[in-house]
Structure 1
Amino acid sequence: MKNTLASKSGASDGPLRGLRILDLSTVVMGPYASHLLADMGADVVKLEPPAGDKLRYYRPQRSRAMSGMFLSLHRNKRSIVLDLKSDAGRAAFHRLAVKFDVILHNFRVNVATRLGATFEQLKAANPSVIVCKIYGYGGDGPYAKRPAYDDVIQAGSGIADLFKRVRGEPQYVPSMICDKIVGQAAAMAILAACYQRLMHGHGCEIEVPMLETMVAFNLAENLASAAFEPPMGAMGWARNISPMRKPFRTADGYACLLPYSDRNWRDFLAFAGCPEVAEDPRFCTLADRAEHIDELYKYVEDAARCRPTAEWLSFCVAHDIPCGPVASLDDLWNDPHLNAVGMFQQEEHPTEGRYRLWRSPLRFDEESWELQRHAPRLGEHTDEVLAAAGFSEAERAALYGNLPADDRSAAES
């Protein structure tokens, strides 16, 4: 990949060093994609409007425009401010875009066209550019112009319906699961496009629609009997939608108890005091057990209550049976495995003080992950990036003059 605009200070190490990404996306989905790539060494420049990304202003925060969520999601990135609603800002964006390998955005089609951020508009000056657009819905369908957020896609992709099948009413997963899964898909697609360019020498346009991505994700196992034509039964994988698939109550809490192999089940049922169940024809093979999972899990539920969690976990670990505690979010920080692998660390942000973050879970050549940059203040690197791209001092000053006073001072600092 070309590296026409090297960082002035502390360029990231990692397998993607030299890959340059201009990220115009906001909130979680697109920024999560660039977060993954930045952690692998890509030079990610976050282009923000004068008001900044909305995510900056979520509470809690110690100071304006730097929320707790923003601190980790935007580490290892730089921030610049341009007003793309102005002629000068759009002209600067087009001039800057030539220096980047990838342009990432989540604008709807009409907005991208107005800003000059479509593949057709950008490739004229940069034929090898990769433009990744993340939308709610694919551009060919009747929903293409609709706004979409995580909740809307959980509802529309069948994710919420899974809860209805299990609990009697639709619910949302209490996590931005669609934003993050689609962000991962976008990061993967960008890397595939980079490989294609390396092999064939040309850029491309990538469409990553939320609904289609999540439908594919959801149907991977839940297409089930409906995979056949005509369908052999209802959609939904029986084990997934069983109300018995849950953490089991023990004598003093809860535990995940998951016998899986034939040997696991024989050992577990013997310890539970009902070894004869392992010989029941309904439970002899993996396929049989999946078909009768409710009845089988009832034995686990009844047995689990008879012993404390620690005793169950000790037995399961000793017999190589998959198991685990039901950790709270607070428990994660004291988990012995996560601490042993250095999953969490504390850093000192130049303006926000001491804060906690997780490392990238990926390792390359057994190298430990290190933070290269703290999450940037709004527009912190505007002058640095524009100067490196060839904007003169007078040109930069003219751009800053079009910004509100607060954003102008950030851009000039």
Structure 2
Amino acid sequence: MSGPLAGVRIIDITSVLMGPYATQLLGDLGADVIKIEAPAGDNVRDIGPRRGPGMAGVFMQANRNKRSIVLDLKAPDGREALLRLAADADVLIYNVRPQAMARLGLDYAAVAAVNPRIIYVGVYGYGQGGPYAAKPAYDDLIQGAVALPTLAMQAGSDVPRYVPLAMADRVVGMSAVNAVTAALFHRERSGEGQCIDIPMFETMAAFVLGDHMGGLTFDPPAGPAGYARLLNEHRKPYVTRDGHLCVMIYNDKQWRAFFELIGSPELMDSDPRFSTIGKRTEHIHELYRMVAEIMLTRTSAEWIDALESADIPVMPMHTIESLMDDPHLQAVGFFEELEHPSEGRIRSLGVPATWSKTQPSLTRHAPRLGQHSAEVLREAGYGEEEIAAMVARGVTRLEP
């Protein structure tokens, strides 16, 4: 393995997206991630387009750099195997409700009893001190609970809408990576393991309110909630004469350059609505409406030439298909075309960060269900007869 977390072993009892995304990022950083799957496998193995059974695109884009072992954790033998794996691990991460881990006999106390140095991380719906503690959670539910659909309406949507991404899953997954790496650093200094809870609701509430608490920051309130620029109905790709364009005019220098570009340099100094960032924020609806009307007068290519010459930030509005052909992503090698042992030619997303010493990379393809069951059990000290007996009892399964 390569990367800054080489030598770190992670027991991954997660499924669907939030937990698997977090553990994939940790695997990209070089950790040895052992993905524990129920006999039926992770649900997303069969969601969406795929070539072979259990190897859908969504699964493959969230489960590289892992080894898959099947364990029925409801069976005593499966629980025992998990604890044997945890005894030599650095991190255990799960994304079911804590009550489910307790029913399995795999709560923090049980795991810490075999490995006091372990970092035990729960990534799930709600903090355990409130009335939502036992509620199930999914990305859509959390998006609604932290006001994203209502913010969409405030910004001009005709109906409440979820962001068309598994945003909560991915944001909270990245928060889990932050927690794991910080806890590993703490343990390196202190020798102490610990239990960490990362609730989706509270994490996403902080994520949203950081932008939109606004005047409610103060007691009594100094103004309304909401960041006016982000809620502006004209904050969207501008319509040009022949398409759409993404333009961000933000600071004084950029606005002065834009007003000069459109032949009205006097606006910056003569119109008090546009003279400072504070005034522009107060009048952002009028300002963005004006820009929207002006953008209609030229083609996208004409605007790109003019705006780039004036050093005003501009980008094309991609589709997913055109994003795949973006010249910058192609130049930096963001998409890796690889040969998967069972799925043939695939496109894998590159690691965005560049490291001068310990560059993260893809070292393992997304695993087939149970591909590494025997390998991992042998590492935990199981003999061939014991593994065969576990297979016969349905506690584990090996790759066909």
Do the two structures share a fold, i.e. TM-score over 0.5?
Answer: yes
1:282 aligned residue: 273
1:265 matched to 2:252: no
1:163 matched to 2:117: no
2:20 counterpart (19, 28, 31): 31
2:112 counterpart (105, 120, 123): 123
1:231 counterpart (180, 205, 221): 221
2:138 aligned residue: 149
1:242 aligned residue: 232
Show the 5 A alignment for 1:52-131.
Answer: 52-131=41-120
1:317 counterpart (296, 308, 320): 308
Change in CA separation of 1:299 and 1:230 when aligned onto 2, cut-off 3 Å: same
1:344 matched to 2:348: no
Contact 1:359/1:369 (<8 A) preserved: no
Change in CA separation of 1:340 and 1:367 when aligned onto 2, cut-off 3 Å: farther
1:382 counterpart (364, 369, 373): 373
SS in 1 for 2:375: helix
Contact 1:27/1:54 (<8 A) preserved: yes
Normalising to structure 2: TM-score of the pair?
A: 0.97
2:32 and 2:311 mapped to 1: Cα distance?
A: 43
1:191 and 1:327 mapped to 2: Cα distance?
A: 34
1:191 aligned residue: 181
Contact 2:2/2:360 (<8 A) preserved: no
What letter corresponds to residue 180 of structure 2 in structure 1? I
Pairwise CA distance, 1:274: 2.6
SS in 1 for 2:397: helix
2:199 aligned residue: 209
Pairwise CA distance, 1:207: 0.5
1:148 and 1:100 mapped to 2: Cα distance?
A: 28
1:117 and 1:293 mapped to 2: Cα distance?
A: 53
Pairwise CA distance, 1:96: 1.3
Pairwise CA distance, 1:408: 3.0
1:333 matched to 2:318: no
Identity %: 45
| Structure 1 stretch displaced more, 136-145 or 369-378 | 369-378
2:129 aligned residue: 140
CA deviations on 1:179-208 (whole Å, 9 max, x unpaired) are: 000000011111111111111111011101
1:180 matched to 2:175: no
Pairwise CA distance, 1:169: 2.8
CA deviations on 1:25-58 (whole Å, 9 max, x unpaired) are: 1000000100111111111010000000001011
SS in 1 for 2:130: coil
1:311 and 1:366 mapped to 2: Cα distance?
A: 43
What letter corresponds to residue 182 of structure 1 in structure 2? V
RMSD: 1.4
CA deviations on 1:55-88 (whole Å, 9 max, x unpaired) are: 1011211111111111121111100001111111
1:8 aligned residue: none
1:308 counterpart (299, 304, 311): 299
Contact 1:33/1:183 (<8 A) preserved: yes
What letter corresponds to residue 272 of structure 1 in structure 2? I
Contact 1:23/1:46 (<8 A) preserved: yes
Pairwise CA distance, 1:368: 5.9
SS in 1 for 2:233: coil
Pairwise CA distance, 1:168: 4.3
2:210 aligned residue: 220
1:353 matched to 2:341: no
1:315 and 1:368 mapped to 2: Cα distance?
A: 38
1:367 and 1:288 mapped to 2: Cα distance?
A: 46
CA deviations on 1:364-395 (whole Å, 9 max, x unpaired) are: 11776542111100010011111112112222
| Structure 1 stretch displaced more, 96-105 or 159-168 | 159-168
2:143 and 2:56 mapped to 1: Cα distance?
A: 25
Pairwise CA distance, 1:409: 4.0
SS in 1 for 2:121: strand
2:261 and 2:398 mapped to 1: Cα distance?
A: 68
1:366 and 1:266 mapped to 2: Cα distance?
A: 42
2:372 and 2:114 mapped to 1: Cα distance?
A: 24
Which structure's relative contact order is higher, taking Cα pairs within 8 Å and 6+ residues apart?
A: 2
Contact 2:21/2:62 (<8 A) preserved: yes
What letter corresponds to residue 124 of structure 1 in structure 2? A
1:6 aligned residue: none
What letter corresponds to residue 38 of structure 2 in structure 1? P
CA deviations on 1:333-363 (whole Å, 9 max, x unpaired) are: 1111111111012111111111111111112
| 4+ residue runs over 3 A deviation | 366-370
Change in CA separation of 1:361 and 1:119 when aligned onto 2, cut-off 3 Å: same
Pairwise CA distance, 1:244: 1.3
What letter corresponds to residue 190 of structure 1 in structure 2? V
Structure 1 residue runs of 5 or longer lacking an equivalent are 1-11
